[in-house]
Amino acid sequence: MGYLNRIQKPNDIKKIPPKAYEELAEEIRDFLVEKVSVSGGHLASNLGVVELTMALHLVLDLPKDKIIWDVGHQSYTHKLLTGRRDGFDSLRQTGGMSGFPKRAESDCDVYDSGHSSTSVSAALGMVRARELCGKDETIVAVIGDGAMTGGLAYEALNNVSQLSSNLIIILNDNNMSISENVGGLSKYLRRLRTSQEYVDLRDRIHESLQDRMPMVAKGISRAKQSIKSLVVPGMFFEEMGITYLGPVDGHNIQEMVRVLSDARRLRKCVLVHVRTRKGAGYEPARKHPARFHGTPPFDIATGKPLHPSKGESYTGVFSGTILEIAREDPCIAAVTAAMADGVGLAHFRTRFPNRFFDVGIAEQHAVTFAAGLAAGGMKPVVAVYSTFLQRAYDQILEDVCLQKLPVVFAIDRAGIVGADGETHQGIFDLSYLSTMPNMTVMAPKNRQELIDMLHFAVSLGKPVAVRYPRGQAYEGLQTFRAPLETGKAEMLFEEGGILLLAAGSMVECAVRVREILGADAVKCSVANARFVKPLDTELLAAAASRYSLIVTMEENVASGGFGEHVAAWYAEQGIRVPLLQIALPDSFVPHGSPAELMRITGIDPESVAQKIRSRLAGSGKGSDRAL
């Protein structure tokens, strides 16, 4: 770690002699592998941009100049080079350093990110602010070829042609997003990767003609625009008014420094096409970049997880169930937005390739495409992380719900996700989905109920969302398996006293709360809501006179959530009942372990039990939401 030790603050890399750049890159990779093997995190993407990040820091003057990292999961080297080496001991842990850029963490992090395709828009806004404020900093957006499949990137590119001042867009081309890239842009970039030799030959011929036959060269120049798109890499960008430079070897620091220095001098938007390799320098990550996109702690020698899951995950349950359903029904189709592995559709892709659709990082398109499939007679299942589904709000509302189309949303990673932090917690879906007319919203209590709900959902013939958490599927309460009926809850324990009315993942918590309060001789009944929309109004009406307190429990923000809908129904009916809403606070939840975050936000069993004790003792008035 000789050279890495010399970097204590921004711009210290400029003190490293050029002959030592390769050694520094190797030290950085060794450091990242060592730290991420302990903490977990995004490894393959970070190993791929080591030299690119070094080149940026050699050319730019931070924090005056600004780098906007699209998604931001590849910013680990950037954090190292800005003096945050010690922070890697607490990477992604509660109260520790984030795995994404955070403005509150360093003035070298200029834009909080976590979702893809936002960098060019943000960078363009910063350029306009620079012009209006009379500043002169260099602004760079680093966007991957996977993120370039998102429509937002093209909306921004459509505007950058109007610039008369510098903006640098670095297209980090590694042929991967999380899963392997798909679609026309990916094919276009592959052609660019293989065409450099042809372009070099063309340039040599033109230079020779310019020297020996200038009139011929002039004539060729007149015709060049009409045939340029056939021979020049990057013509797609050139036609949009963006100067294209590249492709450039993303692991050749000196070459990148030269190209970035050239790009910085142009008074317009410049796109630098950089080719990199995900997982470079660590063989397991190079061979399996998808597995090392977001990895748990692992053994460095083998690359295998240190603590493999002991049980089947909810994602695994979905994976097996959707295969079973598709075997029985040829109308079932699966749609994903560049997350085939993450959402459990890898086996479906292999077994039913003609009914599997990966649309790239384009959630809006995924939903409207699924609406088209449904309108055409298919039964599409859109498998997506909760945090990414919110990007397609309008499409769910207008294209699916308005037309009452039978699209099933299999919503993975719902609730608190953990170490990825604010941008990845799936804590808003119950709120926005339950406001949509014609939408049915379900949440399973355990493994078996997820299976039952998926079968139920595809047979419903209308828009329906099934949301389930990350991690190992709950195996408890297997003997409780009442048939599913739209808008009907399931009573698990009937003891009178208070009623714990829990949705989805919080049923397990409610069972534990019942045990805790049972030791205090507090009688607890427990109901599994099953349906967040429509509500079981028959149960609610009966509960008003049967229980001394009704406690709603959900792993979702309080605002607009399950508890508020229950309270609103009682208010509409003019029924006064004692209610306690257990939900997440109306704020963004930071990174940390799920268990710690649940304790901090007050939705773990011990915290819920204490809130109920306080309410029953009369000291909890006015505090019936999670604080």
**What's the DSSP call for residue 410?**
E
The catalytic position among 79, 102, 275, 278 is 278
Report the share of the chain in percent with pLDDT over 90.
84
User: In angstroms, rounded to a whole number, what is the distance separating the alpha carbons of residues 100 and 116?
Assistant: 12
pLDDT band of residue 618 (cuts 50, 70, 90) is confident
Average pLDDT, integer, range 347-358: 98
Per the annotation, the verdict on 363 as an active-site residue is yes
Inter-residue contact 361 to 149 (CB < 8 Å):
yes
Q: Per the structure block, which two tokens stand in for 243?
A: 């100067």
Q: Can you identify the CATH homologous superfamily of domain 314-467?
A: Thiamin diphosphate (ThDP)-binding fold, Pyr/PP domains (3.40.50.970)
Burial class (CB in 10 A: 0-12, 13-18, 19+), 104: exposed
208 versus 226: which is more confidently predicted?
208
What does the pLDDT read at residue 114? Answer: 93
pTM: 0.89
Report the share of the chain in percent with pLDDT over 70.
89
Q: At residue 627, does pLDDT exceed 50?
A: no
What does the pLDDT read at residue 448? Answer: 97
Average pLDDT, integer, range 337-353: 96
> Hey, where are the domains in the chain?
4-195+233-287, 314-467, 490-617
User: In angstroms, rounded to a whole number, what is the distance separating the alpha carbons of residues 169 and 269?
Assistant: 7
Q: At residue 311, does pLDDT exceed 50?
A: yes
pLDDT band of residue 625 (cuts 50, 70, 90) is very low
- Which CATH fold would you assign to the domain 4-195+233-287? Rossmann fold (3.40.50)
Q: At residue 247, does pLDDT exceed 80?
A: yes
The catalytic position among 391, 470, 611, 625 is 391
User: In angstroms, rounded to a whole number, what is the distance separating the alpha carbons of residues 516 and 592?
Assistant: 25
pLDDT tens, position by position, 119-165:
999 999 999 999 999 999 999 999 999 899 899 999 999 999 889 99
pLDDT tens, position by position, 544-591:
999 999 999 999 999 999 999 999 999 999 999 999 999 999 999 999
Average pLDDT, integer, range 310-328: 96
* CATH code for residues 490-617: 3.40.50.920
pLDDT band of residue 188 (cuts 50, 70, 90) is low
252 versus 311: which is more confidently predicted?
252
What does the pLDDT read at residue 197? Answer: 52
Inter-residue contact 389 to 321 (CB < 8 Å):
no
User: In angstroms, rounded to a whole number, what is the distance separating the alpha carbons of residues 352 and 348?
Assistant: 6
Q: At residue 184, does pLDDT exceed 70?
A: no
pLDDT tens, position by position, 512-538:
999 999 999 899 999 999 999 999 999
* Closest among 11, 125, 12 to 68, alpha carbons compared: 125
Which element (helix H / strand E) includes 50? helix 50-59
Q: At residue 195, does pLDDT exceed 70?
A: no
User: In angstroms, rounded to a whole number, what is the distance separating the alpha carbons of residues 142 and 179?
Assistant: 19
The catalytic position among 27, 51, 363, 490 is 363
What does the pLDDT read at residue 228? Answer: 43
- Transcribe 169-190 into DSSP letters: EEEEE-SBSSSBP-SHHHHHHH
Inter-residue contact 335 to 383 (CB < 8 Å):
yes
Inter-residue contact 356 to 322 (CB < 8 Å):
no
What does the pLDDT read at residue 341? Answer: 93
Average pLDDT, integer, range 499-511: 98
Q: What are phi and psi of 565, to 5 degrees?
A: -70, -35
Please state whether 212 falls in left (phi above 0), alpha (psi between -120 and 50) or beta: alpha
For the chain, the maximum distance between any two Cα atoms, rounded to a whole number of angstroms, is 100
Residue with tokens 């993407």: 45
What does the pLDDT read at residue 174? Answer: 87
Per the annotation, the verdict on 391 as an active-site residue is yes
Which element (helix H / strand E) includes 248? strand 243-249
pLDDT band of residue 169 (cuts 50, 70, 90) is very high
Give the least confident one: 86-90, 226-230, 262-266, 347-351: 226-230
Q: At residue 201, does pLDDT exceed 70?
A: no
What does the pLDDT read at residue 240? Answer: 87
pLDDT band of residue 310 (cuts 50, 70, 90) is confident
pLDDT band of residue 365 (cuts 50, 70, 90) is very high
What does the pLDDT read at residue 620? Answer: 45
pLDDT tens, position by position, 2-33:
899 999 999 999 999 999 999 999 999 999 99
pLDDT tens, position by position, 26-55:
999 999 999 999 999 999 999 999 999 999
Inter-residue contact 585 to 558 (CB < 8 Å):
yes
Average pLDDT, integer, range 326-348: 97
Average pLDDT, integer, range 247-276: 96
pLDDT band of residue 288 (cuts 50, 70, 90) is very high
282 versus 240: which is more confidently predicted?
282
Q: At residue 199, does pLDDT exceed 60?
A: no
| Equal CATH topology for 4-195+233-287 and 490-617 | yes
Average pLDDT, integer, range 237-266: 94
